[in-house]
Structure 1
Amino acid sequence: MQTAIPLGVKAFSRKIDDTLLCGLAMALWLLAFAWIRPLSDPDEGRYAVVALDMLRTGNWVTPHLNGLPFFHKPPLYYWLAAGGYELFGVHAWVARVPSMLGAWLASMSLLALARRYTSTSTAIAAAIIFLTMPFAYLAAQYANMDMLLAGCMCTCTTCAFIATIEADLGKTWRTWITAAGVFAGLGFLAKGLIGLVLPGLIWSIWMLWERRWKQMALPLYPPVWLAILAVAGPWAWFAQKQHPQFFHYFFVTQHFQRYTETGFNNPQPWWFYLAVIALACLPLTLAGIYMLFRQWRAQQEFMPKSDSHPAQTNLDRYMAVWLLAVVAFFSIPSSKIVGYVLPALPPLAYLIARIWQTALDGDGSNILRVRSKLSITIGAAAALCTVLAIGFGTKGVPQKTRWDRLAALPVQPDDRIMMLGQLYYGAPFYMHTGQIPWVVDDWQAAKASKSDNWRKELLDATAFSPNSASHLLLEKQDVNHALCTTKHRVWVVGEPESAKQMTPSLSGIKPMLELGSRAVWLWTPNTACTAPSPIVH
């Protein structure tokens, strides 16, 4: 005798199946073109190599850049990328897996949140709009921490909203608010205090707007902070134990000073992120503005009160606060990096989906026409994402300057790399040697400079490991001596003019590879060279 399955169980099972199918489709879309493009310097090469170093050394507490402690960012990206290298091998697309995971996490959180408090069609549209925004799609295929932070933050903010609504309805909220704490901790491990501060700011502003005084104590639920400490605390504690200067450098220098001071890189005007979002999310932003303008002309309200469920109206307000808070927060400091504002894209995608859904609800006679416009807009956005991904992968980086050409060189495990006048982040990723590269520059002059660049990254690291730095950061006058006394083969990477000035013994050696304005020479221990000059500091 067959037991009848309750309708509610069937509906729940169907909902789970649909969510899994959506999740699989989103993952395939994110992976589609991640392999086309080689790593680009500085960001992708920097973070990919730090993760590779973590895997090779087995030091999962202290990230290292060129053999020196590198505490600019927490380790979650490095852990994920290093784990990916172990599973799938050392490839550029694997270095982008943490960013793709962040975008997938954000889209799934957006789907689950909107589906819970709005219609299924709005939820699916919001997730698709987010993943077809060129800004979001290309950021998901770029190896750095920004999209990973956006994913953790989106999930944390989602869980906090659900916990608040469920508490108001007298339903189960403790699991949701604890989950928010877990993802706040992961957000800290993704990019620092911003993973805690920004979700809390968004939630607090929304709570004050809606005067939800009874739920203001939700974050004080003890398991929330236990979850944050359990996730984020061990790494911070072990890092401080290994390096007593860690707390000051990580929290004061890399958080408060970077946010409040003007000496860091890329200063931009206050309206910078408004322009970035408007342009980098075309054509979806333009379509959303057009539909909003049409509704205003028709004297329709953006969010009709008569047809909206209270929780849906609350979510609309929450998303508006989320979008505005992120943009305002990152617009305040002078230093502005494009990827910082990525956490604003999930709420923007939701609001665009809601505008279209409102148009569908308010124009029953033209539902097919409105739906076709939405489909065409999303299709155009997806096509633009595809064109940009392929274009950047095949034409954006000229063939003669691609760092992945280094992989064809006959590099041996004991070989060394010497970089002249520049930290070529991507070179060690493609040249698989077990030795830490030498970096040659005028380090005495660099110490007097206040520029926020690769030199500052390495000089900051010297405070954590001065002995290692003295062997890895070479002055220009030390180059010939290092080459003439080494027992290893050395791959010298740099511009030909710099090579002639720093290494006269290279003048008779033909480059093994030319990469645009750069070249790669192979120095062997038996190569004739000028007499080693004494090292003077």
Structure 2
Amino acid sequence: MQTVIPLGVKAFSRKIDDTILCGLAMALWLLALAWIRPLSNPDEGRYAVIALDMLRTGNWVTPHLNGLPFFHKPPLYYWLAATGYEVFGVHAWVARLPSMLGAWLASMSLLALARRYASTSTTVTTVIIFLTMPFTFLAAQYANMDMLLAGCMCACATCAFIATIELQFGKSWHSWIMAAGVFAGLGFLAKGLTGLVLPGLVWCMWIVWERRWNQLVLPLYPPAWLAILAIAGPWVWFAQKQHPQFFHYFFVTQHFQRYTETGFNNPQSWWFYLAVITLACLPWTLTGIYMLFRRWRTLQEFMPKSDSHPAQMSLDRYMVVWLLAVMAFFSIPSSKIVGYVLPALPPLAYLIARMWQTAFAGGELHLPQLTSKLAINMGVSAALCAALAIGFGIKGVPQKARWDRLAALPVQPDDRIMMLGQLYYGVRFYMHTDQVAWIVDDWQAAQASKSDNWRKELLDAADFSPNSASHLLLGKQDANHALCTTKHRVWVVGEPETANQMTPSLSSSKPMLELGSRAVWLWTPDKAKC
């Protein structure tokens, strides 16, 4: 007897198959060209080697920067990258997997959200626009926490919106608000309190706009908070147990002081992120601005209501609030880093897609014209993404200055490393050594400076482990003594001029490798001239 499969089951199965295919296509696109360039300093080298040290030491609670506790950021990136090293090996593209995962999570969240409350054309266009924004593509192939945070925030904001709408229509909402709690907890582990505060801010502002006063209690659902505590709580508890000063440093110094004070790096004007998004998301931002001016009188009604989902208007408003809230939140502090504003890209992609839909619904363009113009924009954007990735990979880093050339050096397990006047983050990653480095600098002058740089990172880390720091952070007068008393070979990395000042015994030695303005010497104890 032939089994009859209900139409609803067939449709659901087809939907699952389509989702899997879309997910695979997104992953392949994000992985493309991720291998083409070496790690960039400082961010990529810093985070990649911290994750590598976490794998090598087996300490999954305390991240270490050159052997010293480093609590600037939570550990989710390090956990994911370290796991990637274990599975795929130690490669630059593996260090970028957490960022690719963040972009993929944001894409899948957009797919789930738009598919549920918008048309198929809007859904497909939204996801393609997001993935072909050069800002998205390049950030997904950059090893730091920003895209990972954007992915967790997008998933959290998506689940919170769905839970609210499902509650409005009397449908099951409990699992969605629980999922929002899960992604909020992961957002905390990705970048700290921002992963909790930002999605909550977006949701609250939207609730106020739509006057959904009876749904304000939704975030108080206890299982959602239990999910947050179950995911984020254990790491905080163990970190505080290992380091009693962790709580104050992580929450007060790295969150509130960084947000409110002006002494941290890269101060910029309030309009900085407007310029960043406009330029880094071309040509889509130009397209959006053009469509906005063409349709400004009908923005209150993106599509005829007869063709819209009942929640379409609410979703449109939610995306507007999401975009503006993220822009405003990160524009308030004087310190502004380009990647901070990445959580604004998913709603921007959706709103641009809705602009295209408005043009068709309003009769300004016929369907063939709309499809043709959309395809041209997609092709140009995808080509621009690839060109930028290849350009940065081949031309952005001169061949003679690429840190991956260090992999060819005959490094032995017991060899030490000394860095002169600079923390070269990627050196230990490419030299494949477990040995932490001596960092030689004027540390007394560095303590008097308030600049937010590599010196401050190491000095902050030294407060957690003063004994280790005393052996690793050497003054200028100690460099030559360390070389002359060690029983191991030492790879010395620095600029020739700095090397002559700090290590006179190297003045007659020829570098083993030159990397642009930097050089690498091999110090052998049996040939030492002290």
Q: Which residue of structure 2 lines up, in the alignment, with residue 535 of structure 1? A: none
Q: Which residue of structure 2 lines up, in the alignment, with residue 29 of structure 1? A: 29
Task: Map Cα deviations across residues 10-42 of structure 1 (whole Å, 9 max, x no partner).
Answer: 111111111111110000000010000100000
Q: Which residue of structure 2 lines up, in the alignment, with residue 149 of structure 1? A: 149
- Pairing 1:472-487 to 2, within 5 Å after superposition: 472-487=472-487
Q: What percentage of aligned pairs have identical amino acids?
A: 82
Q: Which residue of structure 2 lines up, in the alignment, with residue 243 of structure 1? A: 243
Q: Contact 1:177 / 1:224 at 8 angstroms: preserved in 2?
A: yes
Q: Distance in 2 between matches of 1:408 and 1:365?
A: 58
Q: Distance in 1 between matches of 2:411 and 2:130?
A: 42
Q: Contact 1:295 / 1:302 at 8 angstroms: preserved in 2?
A: no
Task: Map Cα deviations across residues 430-483 of structure 1 (whole Å, 9 max, x no partner).
Answer: 011221110000001111111110000000011100000000000010011100
- Pairing 1:438-477 to 2, within 5 Å after superposition: 438-477=438-477
SS in 1 for 2:419: strand
Amino acid aligned to 1:44:
E
Task: Map Cα deviations across residues 238-284 of structure 1 (whole Å, 9 max, x no partner).
Answer: 00000000000000000000000000000000000011101110000
Task: Map Cα deviations across residues 40-95 of structure 1 (whole Å, 9 max, x no partner).
Answer: 00000000000000000000000000000000000000000000000000000000
Q: Contact 1:412 / 1:432 at 8 angstroms: preserved in 2?
A: no
- Pairing 1:258-337 to 2, within 5 Å after superposition: 258-296=258-296, 302-304=301-303, 306-307=305-306, 308-337=308-337
2:395 paired with 1:421: no
Q: Distance in 1 between matches of 2:509 and 2:503?
A: 11
Q: Which residue of structure 1 lines up, in the alignment, with residue 389 of structure 2? A: 389
Task: Map Cα deviations across residues 154-193 of structure 1 (whole Å, 9 max, x no partner).
Answer: 0000000000000011100000000000000000000000
Q: Distance in 2 between matches of 1:57 and 1:229?
A: 27
2:104 paired with 1:104: yes
Q: Distance in 2 between matches of 1:111 and 1:286?
A: 23
Q: Which residue of structure 2 lines up, in the alignment, with residue 232 of structure 1? A: 232
CA RMSD between the two structures: 1.1
Residues paired across the two proteins, number: 529
Question: Deviation at 1:510?
Answer: 0.7
Q: Which residue of structure 2 lines up, in the alignment, with residue 533 of structure 1? A: none
SS in 1 for 2:203: helix
Question: Deviation at 1:122?
Answer: 0.9
Question: Deviation at 1:288?
Answer: 1.4
2:173 paired with 1:173: yes
Amino acid aligned to 1:101:
L
Amino acid aligned to 2:278:
A
- Pairing 1:15-414 to 2, within 5 Å after superposition: 15-296=15-296, 302-304=301-303, 306-307=305-306, 308-363=308-363, 366-414=366-414
Q: Distance in 1 between matches of 2:493 and 2:104?
A: 37
Question: Deviation at 1:365?
Answer: 6.6
Q: Distance in 1 between matches of 2:224 and 2:384?
A: 41
Q: Contact 1:295 / 1:301 at 8 angstroms: preserved in 2?
A: no
- Identify unmatched segments of 5+ residues in structure 2: none
Q: Distance in 2 between matches of 1:252 and 1:365?
A: 54
SS in 2 for 1:522: strand
Amino acid aligned to 1:289:
I
Amino acid aligned to 1:325:
A
Question: Deviation at 1:305?
Answer: 5.5
Task: Map Cα deviations across residues 391-431 of structure 1 (whole Å, 9 max, x no partner).
Answer: 10011000011000000100111111100000000111001
Question: Deviation at 1:126?
Answer: 0.5
Instruction: Specify whether residues 409 and 300 from structure 1 end up closer, same or farther in structure 2 by C-alpha distance, changes over 3 A only.
Output: closer
Q: Which residue of structure 2 lines up, in the alignment, with residue 497 of structure 1? A: 497
Q: Contact 1:30 / 1:141 at 8 angstroms: preserved in 2?
A: yes
SS in 2 for 1:418: strand
TM-score by length of 1: 0.97
Amino acid aligned to 2:418:
M
Q: Which residue of structure 2 lines up, in the alignment, with residue 508 of structure 1? A: 508
SS in 2 for 1:82: helix
Amino acid aligned to 1:260:
T
SS in 2 for 1:463: helix
Question: Deviation at 1:302?
Answer: 4.9
Instruction: Specify whether residues 473 and 451 from structure 1 end up closer, same or farther in structure 2 by C-alpha distance, changes over 3 A only.
Output: same
Q: Distance in 2 between matches of 1:70 and 1:103?
A: 25
Q: Contact 2:39 / 2:426 at 8 angstroms: preserved in 1?
A: yes
Task: Map Cα deviations across residues 505-530 of structure 1 (whole Å, 9 max, x no partner).
Answer: 11121100000110000001112322
SS in 1 for 2:525: coil
Amino acid aligned to 1:228:
I
Question: Deviation at 1:292?
Answer: 2.1
Amino acid aligned to 2:292:
L
Instruction: Specify whether residues 296 and 209 from structure 1 end up closer, same or farther in structure 2 by C-alpha distance, changes over 3 A only.
Output: closer
Deviation >4 Å, runs of 4+? 299-302
Instruction: Specify whether residues 409 and 118 from structure 1 end up closer, same or farther in structure 2 by C-alpha distance, changes over 3 A only.
Output: same
Question: Deviation at 1:363?
Answer: 2.1
SS in 2 for 1:526: helix
Q: Contact 1:68 / 1:468 at 8 angstroms: preserved in 2?
A: yes
Q: Distance in 1 between matches of 2:102 and 2:460?
A: 29
Question: Deviation at 1:119?
Answer: 1.0
Question: Deviation at 1:296?
Answer: 3.5
Q: Distance in 2 between matches of 1:14 and 1:225?
A: 34
Question: Deviation at 1:304?
Answer: 3.8
Q: Distance in 2 between matches of 1:263 and 1:412?
A: 42
Q: Contact 1:288 / 1:352 at 8 angstroms: preserved in 2?
A: yes
